[in-house]
Every structure is written in structure tokens, then in C-alpha cells.
Amino acid sequence: MIVALEVFLVITLRRRALAELETAAVVEAQSIAARIGREFMLPRRQDELRDELMPRFEPQVEGRIIVVDRGGTLVADTEGNAFLGTEYATPGRPELVTALAQQRPVSVVRYSDELGTDIMATAVPIIDEASFSGAVRITRSTAQVGANVGRIVFGLVAIGLAPLIAGLVLAFGLANTIARPLARLAEAARRLGGGDLSVRAEEAQGAREIEALAHSFNDMADRLERTVRAQREFVANASHQLRTPLTGMKLRLESAVGDANSEDLRRQLQAADREVDRLSEIVDRLLVIARRLEAGESTVVDLGEAAGTALTRWTERGERLGARLSATGEGAAAQADPTDVAQILDNLIDNAIAYAPGPILIETGRDDSTAFLAVEDRGLGIPEEERTAVLERFSRGKGAPAGGSGLGLAIVRELAEKWGGEVRLGDGNNGGTRIEVRFIAGEI
């Protein structure tokens, strides 16, 4: 705003200065023309004009004065007699041409090749008692106008910088007053997101909106801490309470296996016993996770180990349904919950067995800063236009057989995103579908 105002003001001042210079030049030229027309009859008294009048005018006018007759020939010049008798009313001097032709004052600003700068040339006709006898021209350099305007510009810049600097200092102070509490609030939010449930925003003094935001943040943190603590206590208590009935169930199943008369019944009871063992392992893992969360430890899982456990868990069922499971790849640590990873593998393997029985490959590994697990089948595959939709809840592919709920892949995506991971669907190396889950790599 300051620059725009000052540019406009400078342009206006320059125009005003040129207008004042033009007015002064016209007045001086008309005064000289009136004196010449009254006392010196051109062309008869040219010598007297050069010898008497011109020396008197020269000190009074800051510029060059010339006199031409009505034909445009130079008859007097304050800079000497070198060009007397020369035709001066030429196209290069339009002010003289116009003044002689139209017999009226003319003032123009033009570039002078002789002086190498802009000049103001003012020409007025010499008229006495309706007798026209020539013209007077005064030329002045506009450099002085530029110098004067330059000094004014310097002053305006100095005047403009003062409020600008004051405004910047004031704005900086106000910005710090607002930014510091917001920066502290952002840091508190970052720590809260990182798991530090005890962090609270400072009750900083400042704008009412910032104070209200800090109060709201602290209320949210209090509710979040109570909720998370309640969840942790529930996980710990439920896991602990489940161990007793699971132990009793296992003892009853073992006793029932020994008393079973039918081989088929014995196999079913043994399968149920294995499921109880699996459930006991899940309860134990929940207890471990609860202790880690209470201690504030990060949860890390070995994807290779999780894949091997899943392979053992699903091999028998896969063989019954015509699927041949295998695992490959190296172990890779990932920042995730072992129970969530086990559920991800169960959902992916279950989908592969149900929709694409045949060879199923479980692969794990590490790539730069990510650890991944993938389940690849050799079925018909998922069309590319459906891959985004099948990750949503209750969404199933157009060619999927009846009976599914459309939740398996949605749960996989939600569990992966819970730990900062992502799910990628693509084509398998030997046809079919490859579903890859990537986590943030960790260290065991």
C-alpha cells in the first residue's frame, strides 16, 4: 500500500514540477517577446537586439534564449553568433515550427541530441500591434526537475520506511504472541498422538480463542486418557479372568479325548483342544500387550514368525479344502500388535482358501524402512476397477461366490492403518491376486 501510494505521489509531483517549469518558461518567453516586439522591429534592428537586449535577458533566465524571424532564421542567440542566419524552424524543433505556423505559445519536453538529455523547449510568437515578426524560444534542461523529484522520492521512501518498520515490528510481536501458544499446543498434540497421555496444554495467557482452544484440548486429553486407561484395564482384566475357564475347558477336553469311543469324535475333540490352546495363546498375548501398553513400550512383531505360526494354524484346514499353503521370505520386525497381525493373516488366508483354492504363498520381508507380509494365490484375481471398493466394509467383488460378508479385507485395511501401515492389491507373479500389507519397520 505504501509503495502504491508513493509511486502515485511521485508521478503527480513530477507532473506538477514540469507544469510549473512550463508555466514559468511561457511567462518569461512572453515577456521577452513583448519587449522585442515593442522596442526592436525585426528584422531592421537585429544588431541592437543582439547587442543590447539579449545580454540583459541572459542572467534572468536559466536556459538558452534564441530569436528567429518569421521565416525561422536564427537572428539572436545567448550562446553566441556561430549559428546566426541558420534555418532553425526544422522538424527537429517542432516547438518553433508550431509557434511560427499557428502564432501561439508552444511548450514541449523532448530529447536533445546536442545536449544528450531531455529538455523543455518553450516558443512564443513575437506580435506587436497585430504585426507578427518572429518567435522567441527558451530551452531548459529537465535534469534539475529530476534531481528535485529524486530528493522528494528519497524523503518519501524514508517517511514510508518508518511506518513500515514499525508495522513489521508490531506484526512480529503480535505474531509471536499468537504463534507461541499455538506452537506449544501443537507440541502437546504431537506428544499426545505419540502416546503420552499425561501431556496437557499450558494455560497460556493470550487471546480468548487460544485460551478456549487450550481448555478444549485439555478436556479432550482428559477424556482420552480415561478412555484408554479403561480399555487397558479391560484388556488386562478380561485376559486374566479368561485364563481360569480356558484351563478348565482344556482339562475337560483332554478327559473327553481319553474317554471317546469313536475315532471321528476323538479327532473333533482334539481339534477343539487345539483351538483352546490357540485361544490361550491369544489371551497370553493380550496380557503381554496390556503390560507393554501400561509401561509405555512400543509393540513390535516378527512377521516371519507370525507367518510361520499362521501356516501351522491353517495347513490342515487348507488341505481339506484343496489349498496348499507355503511360506517364504526372511523375518522382518514391524511396529504392530501380534494379535492384529495374526488376525490380518487369518483373514487373508481364509479369503484365499475360500475364493482361490490351490497354491497359496505367504511371503514376508523388509524393504527400506517398511516391513511387509503378503498372501498370494493363483485364482481368477480381482479386476483393477474393483480393488479400491473391496477394501471397504460390506463390499464384495462382482464375481465372488455367495456366503461372504465383505468384511475381511476391510478389517485387514483398518488393522494395518491402525499401526501406520497400508494395504496394496495387485496381480500375483503367477496369476491370481497378491495382497500385501506394509508396516513401519521396527527392531526386535
Q: Band the pLDDT of 241: cuts 50, 70, 90.
A: confident
pLDDT at 39: 67
Model confidence at 375: pLDDT above 90: yes
Model confidence at 82: pLDDT above 90: no
Give the mean model confidence (pLDDT) for residues 85-97: 89
Q: Band the pLDDT of 262: cuts 50, 70, 90.
A: confident
pTM of the model: 0.41
Contact, 438 vs 371, CB < 8 A? Answer: yes
Give the start-to-end residue ranges of the domains of the chain: 2-141, 299-444
pLDDT at 324: 92
pLDDT digits (tens, 9 = 90+) for 59-81: 777 788 888 888 888 888 888 88
pLDDT digits (tens, 9 = 90+) for 188-226: 888 887 667 788 887 656 677 778 888 888 888 888 888
Cis, peptide link before residue 181, omega less than 30° from 0: no
pLDDT digits (tens, 9 = 90+) for 387-425: 787 888 766 655 555 545 567 788 888 888 888 899 999
Model confidence at 43: pLDDT above 60: no
Model confidence at 10: pLDDT above 90: no
Chain centroid to CA 378: 45
Nearest to 373 by CA among 345, 405, 395, 349: 345
The winner for highest mean pLDDT among 32-46, 167-181, 326-340 is 326-340
Residue that has been written with the C-alpha cell 527400506 in this structure = 368
CATH of 299-444, one of 3.90.110.10, 3.40.50.10490, 3.30.565.10, 3.20.20.10: 3.30.565.10
Residue that has been written with the C-alpha cell 493373516 in this structure = 345
| Interatomic CA distance for residues 377 and 355, integer angstroms | 9
pLDDT digits (tens, 9 = 90+) for 377-387: 988 888 887 87
Domain 2-141 in CATH 3.30.450.20? The answer is yes
pLDDT at 19: 81
- CA 429 vs CA 119, 361, 375, 399, 440: distances in Å: 85, 11, 11, 21, 24
Tell me the torsion sign for CA atoms 375, 376, 379, 382.
positive
CB neighbour list of residue 26: distance below 8 Å, 6 or more residues apart: 105, 107, 122, 124
Helix (DSSP H) and strand (DSSP E) numbers for the chain: 10, 12
Contact, 331 vs 307, CB < 8 A? Answer: no
pLDDT at 326: 93
| Interatomic CA distance for residues 116 and 22, integer angstroms | 20
Query: Cβ atoms within 10 A of the Cβ of 178, count?
Result: 14
Q: Band the pLDDT of 298: cuts 50, 70, 90.
A: low
Give the DSSP letter string of 314-352: HHHHHHHTT-EEEEEE---EEES-HHHHHHHHHHHHHHH
pLDDT digits (tens, 9 = 90+) for 27-36: 888 888 888 7
Burial of 167 (C-beta count, 10 Å sphere; 0-12/13-18/19+): exposed
pLDDT at 364: 93
